[in-house]
Amino acid sequence: MRSSDERPLCRLEDIPDGRARGFLPVNRDDRVFVVRRGDRIRAYVNSCPHNWRPLDYAQDQFLSADGREIVCYAHGAHFSIDSGACIAGVCIGASLIPVPARVDNGMILIPLELPHTPE
């Protein structure tokens, strides 16, 4: 059941298994992307801690070729899908900003109020 401080993003099945999808919430400046692996999801603010700019170079392009890591295509930083931590590249020690998303009855829900980036 959805609480009053959550809103639906999309259905889980709208994201192919092992892939990612980016979203631009309507009337908001912040962007979010979701990585799906089976029934599990991880969601982050689409802003790289290196320069606080979007990670994707094209729609929904957030993952490495093998699908095991998140990649920022601006300068090639790699991030853990599970933790959001930078594990290779220019911002080791920094992390993506997690979004507490969850799946309810096949629907991905995110908070109405998303975390803000420092810039």
Q: Using the minimum distance from each CB to ligand FES, give the nearer residue, 90 or 107.
A: 90
Q: Using the minimum distance from each CB to ligand FES, give the nearer residue, 48 or 101.
A: 48
Distance CA 115, CA 99 (A): 7
CB 50 within 8 A of CB 84: no
Q: According to CB under 6 A, which one of 9, 35, 48, 70 is a site residue for ligand FES?
A: 48
Task: Report the SS3 class of residue 107.
Answer: strand
Nearest-Å Rg of the Cα atoms of the chain is 13
Binding status of residue 51 toward ligand FES by CB under 6 A: yes
Binding mask 59-98 for ligand FES (x = CB under 6 A): -------------x-xx-x-----------xx--------
Binding status of residue 53 toward ligand FES by CB under 6 A: yes
For residue 102, count other CB atoms closer than 10 A to its CB. Answer: 13
Which amino acid is residue 56, in one-letter code?
Answer: D
Residue numbers of the site for ligand FES (CB under 6 A)? 48, 50-51, 53, 72, 74-75, 77, 89-90
